[in-house]
């Protein structure tokens, strides 16, 4: 299949599969496994850098990991998260930071929330495709708490209105994280661009997960994740056997 780009993604004839990678080896494995989109998420902060949440992640850290991932991806669309603080100040700074991520190898950027539509529009005007992200947005964990969003009628209406606003601003796809299935389904039906869910049920246009949750590298994944492997266990066993053989 030709490289899925941000312009033909909405014409994909299948549900979209998106997974995170932060380094060359995982990027290569995901690309060879036929995922549609490799996301260099700012979950990098929790997963690879050991931070408590995504808030401390810097542009410099994102650039290093986007470069590593881009070296491993030949086919999939590579999307990079704009980290907290990289797009809120003003649209000009947001465009400059999006350009840094594209120069590092990203095909597109992802922005959390719908509070900075002028930044979204300016980045798109600069020729960089933007993916939106609504529902539970980890960069706002201190404000939202770690919980399902859009359970009440008002908050559900706000998420739907924000999704429409992001589409109108030109986003090529929207991630919906931790919202009720009915709201995710309604949003997917109302948008022309794909809605990619995480903990949002099956009635959407694709799914995204943090790869280490999926493969059991991180051992306490969120409850909506079906753990498909026990990589942490495999590593512990291999290291244990090695230590025994060394004769330590």
Q: Mark whether 245 is an active-site residue.
A: no
How many angstroms separate the CA atoms of 61 and 38, rounded? 17
Of 157, 158, 86, 69, the closest CA to residue 120 belongs to 86
Residue 41 found at the interface with ligand KIV (CB under 6 A): yes
Exposed e or buried b for every residue in 170-208, given b needs 16+ CB within 10 A?
Answer: bbbbbbbbbbbeebbbbbbeebebbbbbbbbbeebbbbb
Q: Which of 37-45, 87-95, 115-123, 161-169 is the region at the interface with ligand KIV (rule: CB under 6 A)?
A: 37-45
Phi, psi (rounded to 5 degrees) for 109 = -120, 160
Exposed e or buried b for every residue in 224-242, given b needs 16+ CB within 10 A?
Answer: ebeeeeebeeeeeeeeeee
Catalytic residue among 167, 177, 219, 245: 177
Q: Going residue by residue from 44 to 83, which x/- string records binding to ligand KIV, judged by CB under 6 A?
A: -------------------------------------x--
Q: Which is nearer to ligand KIV, 122 or 133 (CB)?
A: 133
Q: Which is nearer to ligand KIV, 12 or 48 (CB)?
A: 48
Instruction: Confirm or deny that 112 is annotated as ligand binding.
Output: yes
Residue 212 found at the interface with ligand KIV (CB under 6 A): no
Annotated binding site for 3-methyl-2-oxobutanoate: 42-43, 81, 110
Annotated active-site positions, please?
A: 177
Binding site for ligand KIV (CB under 6 A): 20, 39, 41-43, 81, 133, 175, 177, 198, 208, 210
């Amino acid at each position: 299949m030709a490289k899925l780009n941000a312009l033909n993604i909405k014409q994909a004839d299948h549900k979209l599969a998106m997974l995170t990678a932060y380094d060359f080896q995982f990027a290569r494995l995901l690309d060879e496994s036929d995922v549609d989109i490799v996301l260099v998420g700012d979950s990098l902060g929790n997963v690879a850098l050991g931070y408590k949440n995504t808030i401390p992640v810097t542009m410099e850290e994102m650039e290093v990991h986007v470069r590593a991932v881009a070296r491993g991806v030949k086919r999939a669309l590579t999307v990079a998260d704009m980290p907290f603080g990289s797009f809120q100040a003003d649209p000009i700074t947001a465009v400059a930071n999006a350009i840094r991520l594209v120069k590092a190898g990203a095909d597109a950027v992802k922005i959390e929330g719908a509070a900075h539509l002028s930044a979204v529009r300016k980045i798109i005007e600069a020729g960089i495709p933007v993916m939106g992200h609504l529902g539970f947005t980890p960069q706002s964990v201190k404000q939202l708490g770690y919980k399902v969003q859009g359970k009440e009628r008002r908050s559900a209406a706000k998420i739907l209105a924000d999704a429409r606003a992001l589409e109108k601003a030109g986003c090529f796809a929207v991630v919906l994280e931790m919202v009720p299935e009915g709201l995710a389904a309604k949003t997917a039906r109302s948008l022309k661009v794909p809605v990619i869910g995480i903990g949002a049920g099956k009635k959407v246009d694709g799914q995204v997960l943090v790869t280490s949750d999926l493969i059991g590298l991180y051992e306490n994944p969120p409850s909506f994740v079906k753990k498909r492997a026990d990589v942490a266990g495999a590593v512990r066993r291999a290291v244990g056997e090695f230590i025994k053989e060394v004769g330590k």
